[in-house]
Amino acid sequence: MKKLLRFTSSTVTVLLFAALICMIIVVISSKASGGSPSAMGYEIKSVLSGSMEPTFQTGSIIAIKPTEENGTEYQDGDIITFQQDQETLVTHRIIGVNETNDQIVYETKGDNNDAADMDPVLDTNVVGEYTGFTIPYVGYFIEFANSPTGALVLLVTPGVIIFLYGILSIWRELKKLEAKTKSASASEPPD
């Protein structure tokens, strides 16, 4: 029974430390990259609307390959992420490619939308292309981690749990030591 408790205790400790390290990596990566974590040259973006369902669901994360030069290499049918305004990124499918005044302009539409987007997308506003990689529901977690409250909760909570677990472990060991001392003094012959 003691071996099982010791194994469980060690497993919980390792899992808590691993969770703390993962949270630190996610939060620092998100903050360092301006809110979008990246891995192996791909940017991870959260999907916040249902305009592209069923291609990817609201709350998913998607990987995009960043545009390398000027965003003129995309074709009809490609799914691109573009800067709609200074604070908004949108990921929609290209339904038309036009050239005006030596600049490529894309007509886009969300797969789940009835009509094309109102404003055409300039090639200079294209951030990247969807790679086909999606993980459902993780986007909710990433958005929470990017918020000040989320960063605080995800960094502080595992730390507090590890701290409390450490205090509990020390208290248990002190109780064991106290019990040994009492049993040793009880077994000593009186003078």
Give domain 37-138's CATH number out of 2.10.109.10, 3.40.50.850, 3.40.190.10, 3.40.50.720.
2.10.109.10
Positive/negative CA dihedral, 11, 17, 21, 22 = positive
What's the pLDDT score for residue 190? 61
What's the pLDDT score for residue 123? 84
pLDDT in 10s for each residue of the chain, 191 residues: 778 877 887 887 788 777 767 666 766 666 665 656 666 778 888 888 888 888 888 888 888 888 877 777 888 889 998 888 888 888 899 998 888 878 888 999 998 888 888 988 888 888 888 888 888 887 787 778 777 887 778 778 877 887 888 898 888 888 888 888 877 776 666 65
Residues designated as active site: 49
What is 122-151 written as a DSSP string?
Answer: EGGGEEEEEEEEEETTHHHHHHHHHSHHHH
